[in-house]
Amino acid sequence: MDYSQFPKHKVLCIDMKSFYASVEAVNRNLDPLTTLLAVVGDTERSGSIVLAASPSLKREFNIRTGNRLFEVPKDPRIHIVPARMGLYLETSMAFTKLLNQYVPIEAISTYSVDESWITVDSLERRYGSVYEIAEHIQMNILMQLKLPCAIGIGPNRLISKLILDNSAKKVGIAECNYEDVQRLLWPLPVGDIWGIGSKMKRHLNRLGIMTLGDLAKYPLDILKIKFGVMGEQLFYHAWGIDLSPVYVDPREDVRKGFSNGITLMRDYSKEEALTVIYEISDKISTRLRQINKAARTVSLAIGYSKTEEIRGFNHSITLPEATNISNHLSRACIGIMNKENIRGMIRNVHISVTNLVSDEVIQLDLFTGPEDEKLLRLGKALDGIQSRYGKASVMRACSLTEAGTVISSAQKIGGHTQ
């Protein structure tokens, strides 16, 4: 592989160790590395899931994310605390602001609440080598936020992420360049590779592909026949090639579109799911008005209950005119739903809007204009009330039924109590 033809940046992938548990420990003036602590969704339910375990709890008792509360030993040294998503989001924002002290926001890409990429191409003159830059940032995070982190270093996002997951999380900081890929990454099992799920792992294993090196040496033409475009991407990723941009305007995704959805607490009938569609449409229309945009394309994705042996669907419709009115969005989604043969109970509802334009281009025609003007004024009035008094301060009547989700979601962030 001729790496000279590919971009070579200085990219750090930074992961906050056991983030939720570490934040809770720091908030209690405890050492996040030595404290035995588990964060759970509901401390009153024995079957509640452990959302995060401190490094010491993982090491001493092998308790990890995904374990149940009843599996945590009854040891007086162990702190069991409820999740506080508001606190974690606040800390995550402080983490991003700290990174912003080093580079412009375009050089920061948030992967999750506790993990980000940062491109440090221009910092060597001030801080030294890229490894020294990583050390400086790691120490600053520890000094300012009192949180431990691990950092992977690479010439692109992919390599920095792979070396983070497979080396840096054990030693603190690890670096991998193009010339190190065969030595450091090729021995890794394909199941340990970011982006390769259990299903793809089984497909690759059936072809005799057990390691990343096996994947890199496999004939590209056969991978393309077997997996299409994904096969080509897998091949180049095995060689450490990643052409995704390292400088991204965070506002660009909003300009292109956005989405909102929910995994329901129980199975819903088609009729009950209509309430959820109304609620999500209200949220999306509010967001559109906040950024002075209107959407031309609406997509509805429905996922069925695990008890149903049928696949869900994801279909789109392009509207005659762009809109940021909730009634138009929900009507489009209901139209998609009516065309589908809903044959089972529903567990996931997801709505997205794309093809965004400035709301200045919205045209009110002769017949629907007056009604749409009323709906738009009503929507803006509701936006103001909810902004001031909370999302649950005013809602549709159907949200007060058993199918409604507004009240419960208003009390939570990320599905957990604030």
Give me the active site residues, please.
115
- Write b or e for each residue in 89-108: b if 16 or more Cβ atoms lie within 10 A of its Cβ, otherwise e: eebbeebeeebeebbeeebb
Residue 195 and residue 267: Cα distance in Å, rounded? Answer: 30
- Go through the chain and tell me how many residues it has: 418
Q: Give the number of C-alpha atoms closer than 13 A to the C-alpha of residue 161, restricted to the C-beta side.
A: 20
**Token pair belonging to 344:** 């089972």
Single-letter amino acid code for the residue at 28? R
Are 287 and 387 in contact, with CB atoms under 8 Å apart? no
Residue 65 and residue 38: Cα distance in Å, rounded? Answer: 9
Q: Which residues pair with 16 in a beta bridge?
A: 149
Residue 408 and residue 387: Cα distance in Å, rounded? Answer: 17
Single-letter amino acid code for the residue at 323? T
Query: Which secondary structure element, helix H or strand E, spans residue 298, and what is its range?
Result: strand 293-304
Query: Which secondary structure element, helix H or strand E, spans residue 303, and what is its range?
Result: strand 293-304
Q: Name the nearest CA neighbour of 299 among 328, 259, 358.
A: 259
Residue 127 and residue 319: Cα distance in Å, rounded? Answer: 52
